Structure 1
Amino acid sequence: MLTTLYVVRHAHTIYTPDERNRTLSEKGYRDARIVQKLLAAEQVDTYISSPYRRAWETIVRNASAAVLDERLRERQVAAAPVEDFQGAMDRLWSQEEYQFPGGESNRSARARGVDAFQDILAACAGKRIAIGTHGNLMVLTMGHYDTRFNYDFWKQLNMPAIWKLTFDGQQYIQAEPLSIQK
């Protein structure tokens, strides 16, 4: 029985340090409407999202229309904002086990994402599921199934982005991008 996951990186945001409540920018809201129409055209059955507002706002208009799953939140880089974000990403992606104080390593963030995907696949077999999430966690999790999803891929990933992953049970079959017509 084939199951399809539409893994969605959130649309553009207005940066604030409030991770949970950061909203989309004006452009982000326009792009989110396009994403929502595309997911409806794909006949998505179930919407599951990170509890972070920017993730669920990209796939649904109201948080009550999605199941919120804490495991789909963005990876915690460190307990406090890092001074050199790009340098921090270089280090995290080059050293699988490294973690900054209060942060998550690639390995631990990936394990969290894979655990969520496996549970979703088991609970929603045969369905089309939209997953609202974040760039780092998205690529780390998809990289578990397909090695082309790596650091270089993450660095060029758009906001928003949608990847359609097909599974037979828990067995990964393929991934393809969905074009977001703007």
Structure 2
Amino acid sequence: MATNLYLVRHAHSTYTSDERNRPLSERGYKDAEKVTELLKKEKIDAVLSSPYARAVQTVEGTAVSHGKEVHLLEDFKERTLTEGKAPDFEAAIEKVWADPDFSWEGGESNRDAQQRGIRGMKTVLADYENMNVVIGTHGNIMVLIMNYFDEAYGYSFWKQLAMPDVYRLSFEGESFIGCQRIWMDL
């Protein structure tokens, strides 16, 4: 039997400088309902999330529809790109993807963020073996996690992600079996 982890990139949020409490936008709430509808047909054993509000809000409908609580895991929070706001976000993100050990002032390198995300994944794989688990997370950390298992998931892949987006990663123990996108515009 396999462990299936449904990585859910959060829906659109209203920008604020408060990363932890940034809420979904009106469009984001509507799209979170689509995530709930999509995952209703799946057998879900647990729902986990980054502690950031937008990630929790994206998966809480799924938790309710399956009679589960959302459990928070710090390891799935978005990577810290830089202290404060980057003057040119696109250039800043491209630079960290080009050099996995580079970090901006006060930020995490890709390697450091990836190691944090993988630590979280290994915890989930150990604690929820042979179960189906939804994980509310963020685009950059999600792709860094996926990149650990398959280098095809990199900067270009990150740029084309939808918001929200859902990918099912399957494992036998800690061995990666494969990845499938299950999000579609409903």
TM-score, with normalisation over the residues of structure 1?
0.96
Q: Which moved more, 1:36-45 or 1:159-168?
A: 36-45
Whether contact under 8 Å (1:34, 1:180) holds in the other structure is no
Partner of 2:54: 54
Q: Distance in 2 between matches of 1:80 and 1:28?
A: 24
Alpha-carbon distance between aligned partners in 1 of 2:44 and 2:185, rounded to the nearest angstrom: 18
- Corresponding residue for residue 27 of structure 1: 27
Q: Which residue of 2 aligns with 1:2?
A: 2
Q: Does 1:79 align with 2:101?
A: no
Structure 1 stretch displaced more, 96-105 or 38-47: 38-47
Match of 1:93 among 90, 97, 103: 97
Offset from partner CA, 1:29-88 (integer Å, 9 cap, x none): 011011012222111110010000000110114899211001100000111111010110
Report deviation, 1:180: 2.7
Cα RMSD (Å) of the superposition?
1.4
Counterpart of 1:144? Answer: 148
Q: Is 1:103 matched up with 2:110?
A: no
Identity %: 42
1:122 paired to 2:145? no
Alpha carbons 2:51, 2:73 under 8 Å: kept: yes
Q: Kindly provide the CA deviation profile for residues 75-125 of structure 1, in whole angstroms up to 9, marking residues without a partner as x.
A: 001111110101101110001100011100000000000110011000000
Q: What is the TM-score with the length of structure 2 in the denominator? A: 0.94
- Letter of the 2:14 partner, please give it: I
- Is 1:38 equivalent to 2:38 in the alignment? yes
Task: Give the whole-Å Cα distance in 2 for the aligned partners of 1:43 and 1:26.
Answer: 28
SS at match of 2:21: coil
SS at match of 2:20: coil
Aligned residues: 182
Runs of 4+ in 1 over 3 A off after TM superposition: 61-64
CA distance in 1, matches of 2:182, 2:80: 27
Task: Tell me, in whole angstroms, the C-alpha distance in 1 between the residues paired with 2:183 and 2:70.
Answer: 23
SS of equivalent residue, structure 1 residue 60: helix
Q: Which amino acid aligns with 1:111?
A: Q
**Which segments of 5 or more consecutive residues in structure 1 lack a partner in the other structure?**
none
Q: 1:14 Cα deviation (Å)? A: 0.8
Residues of 2 paired with 1:179 and 1:80: CA distance?
A: 32
